[in-house]
Each structure stands twice: as C-alpha cells, then as structure tokens.
Chains A and B, each alone.
Chain A
C-alpha cells in the first residue's frame, strides 16, 4: 500500500510543521501591521508575503522603503538577508535533487527557514526514505506553515491602521530580529560576525540611504568565516 504510506508520511510532516504556527502567527500579523503602518496598501502587503515569502527580508525591505532608501539598496540588503537560503538549497539538494524539475521549483518557492530545518533533519535521520516520501514529507511540513503566513499577514494588514503609536509598534521589528539572531549566536565566529556588524553599522550610519548596512553585513560575513577557519568551529 504505497499510497497509505505516503499519506501517513504527509501527516507526519504536517505534525512536525505545526509547532511553527506559534512563531508564524505573530510574525505574520506583525508584518501586516508594520507594512500597513509604513504606508503599503493591502495588495502590496499581501504581494510581499505571497511573492517573497521570507519574513526577515520583507521587514528589511519595508524598513528601508520607509527610510526612502534607493531601490538598489532596498533590493541588495533584502536579498543579502536571504542569502542563507542558498545554503539551504545546496544542503537539501542531495535529498531532493532527483525529483522532477517542476516539483523542485515548487519546493524551492517553499524553502523557508522552518521547512528547511525540519525536512533536512528528517532526511538525515531517515536515509531509507524514498524520493516520493521525501517530497510528500516536505509538503506536509509546509502545509501548516506557509498558508498561515499569508492568512496572518492579511489579519495584521486589516488590523494595522487601528494600532495607535503609544503601542510602540516601531520597536516590534528590532525585537523580532534580535530574537532571531540571539539563538543563532552559537560559536565565537557567530558572535564576532554580529559584533562587527553592529559596530560598523553604527560607525557608518552617516552614510546615505542605509548603505552602511550593506558594508557592515559584508564585512561581518567575512569576519565570521575567517574566525571559523581560525577556530575550526562549525555550525
């Protein structure tokens, strides 16, 4: 009964993706609120969540757009935030690379932090999974995650204009970004990269259009990689 087996694999994936609702729901609402407060209309806010589907990069773009940064800086900085996904793509390819091209394209669209982390761990722990099972599992994981991202963004965008300034919603983005960064500070290399990033961003804040962020980010990546090589520490 291969179909029954695939169905159960799908639901296993679904169960493993479900806990992320706790992160996705508030983050999605927040993007809807922040986007609306920054001056985007409903269609534009939803355009971001559906076409880009990458929380941190979406917040980055909206933040820089609100600062009236030039389009080039908005795109370069936001895409830099997403560069980590090239690493996801590379590391999941041995497990999914044999799937048909159209399936790989759909999975690439849904290759977000959560689906990558859960699916990659599962494939490593269960090398006996067939290709069909891996694909079905991947779709199981994203089923509770990605549609909820769209829905919660919509909820936030609809609520957005009604949130008064004394709720200090301006600081939701820094808190969310710091909450993403802090658990990632696993090694000396990560800490060094973050320290260089903060220092240069503050020193270069005088540069126009937030372009100091790009320089700080690039320098911090180099420093992180350099420290990793020196210390031999990984992940």
Chain B
C-alpha cells in the first residue's frame, strides 16, 4: 500500500459518506415514491455482478503464489461456490472453502 495517511482517511471518509447517502437515498429523500422498475432491476444484480469480478483474478492469478495457478486455491474457490450454492448458507460455504484450502495446503504444500 503506497497511499499516505491523508489519502487513506480521504478514502475512508468519502466511502463513509457515499455509503450513507446510498442508504439514506430513498428513506431520507425520496419518501414513499416508488423507484422505476428498470432501476430496481439493475440494482438487484449488483452483488452478483461486482463481487465475482473482484474475486476471479484473485482465484486464477493469486498474488501469494506470484500469480501462477494454485490448485489448493482454485479448489477452495470451487468448494466455496458449490457448497454455498447447494446449502444457501454463507457459513457452510466459508467452512467448505477454508476446509478445502487448508486440507490441500497441508497435503501438497
């Protein structure tokens, strides 16, 4: 991390204010008016649109291995996804992913 203290606090404050305004938007400002359908339709997909994009490079080119393919990490990602999809439970998914990661790291190093 090369950011200085001022830049870091700037990011924290801007993110805090921005996040608050997103949360306050309708509750505070728009009152009981309804959002247009097409806006709601896009907002519904933000988690599944943004989070996988963040994760994919970390899985395929992990920094900890210098960016080369790493079987324990790819297998752990697959296990997390599979267990989370089938169980619909965040904790079960985390347990499956962590178990796979540490199991394989222990076995093949």
Which A residues fall within an 8 A CB radius of B?
Answer: 22-23, 26, 38-40, 44, 47-48, 51-54, 56-57, 60-61, 63, 65-66, 68, 71, 74-75, 77-90, 92-94, 96-97, 101, 104-105, 107-109, 111, 165-166, 168, 170-185, 189-190, 193-194, 196-198, 200-202, 205, 212-213, 216-225, 228-229, 234-235
- Contact pick for B81, options A44, A68, A92, A178, CB 8 Å: A178
List residues of chain B with CB within 8 A of the CB of A23: 90-91
- Contact pick for A68, options B1, B32, B47, B83, CB 8 Å: B1
Q: With contacts A190-B48, A225-B44 known, is A82 near B62, CB below 8 A?
A: no
Are B41 and A83 within 8 A (Cβ)?
A: no
* B80–chain A nearest beta-carbon distance, Å: 4
Are B22 and A79 within 8 A (Cβ)?
A: yes
Which B residues fall within an 8 A CB radius of A?
Answer: 1-3, 5, 7-16, 18-20, 22-28, 30-32, 34-35, 38, 40-64, 72-73, 76-77, 80-85, 87-91, 93-94, 97-98, 101-102, 105
Are A178 and B80 within 8 A (Cβ)?
A: yes
* B76–chain A nearest beta-carbon distance, Å: 6
* B88–chain A nearest beta-carbon distance, Å: 4
Q: With contacts A65-B11, A68-B2, A104-B27 known, is A75 near B49, CB below 8 A?
A: no
Distance of A39 Cα from B60 Cα, bound (Å): 24
Are A197 and B49 within 8 A (Cβ)?
A: yes
Q: With contacts A93-B27, A181-B52 known, is A84 near B47, CB below 8 A?
A: yes
Are A220 and B48 within 8 A (Cβ)?
A: yes
Are A104 and B91 within 8 A (Cβ)?
A: no
Q: With contacts A44-B9, A183-B89 known, is A194 near B48, CB below 8 A?
A: yes
Are B1 and A107 within 8 A (Cβ)?
A: no
List residues of chain A with CB within 8 A of the CB of B19: 52-54, 57, 79, 82, 85
Are A85 and B40 within 8 A (Cβ)?
A: no
Closest to B63 in A: A170
Q: With contacts A40-B8, A51-B12, A179-B97 known, is A224 near B51, CB below 8 A?
A: no
Are A183 and B93 within 8 A (Cβ)?
A: yes
Distance of A184 Cα from B61 Cα, bound (Å): 25
Distance of A26 Cα from B18 Cα, bound (Å): 26
Are B51 and A65 within 8 A (Cβ)?
A: no
Are A213 and B50 within 8 A (Cβ)?
A: yes
Are A178 and B84 within 8 A (Cβ)?
A: yes
Are B56 and A89 within 8 A (Cβ)?
A: no
List residues of chain B with CB within 8 A of the CB of A68: 1-3
List residues of chain B with CB within 8 A of the CB of A190: 45, 48
List residues of chain B with CB within 8 A of the CB of A220: 45, 48-50, 52-53
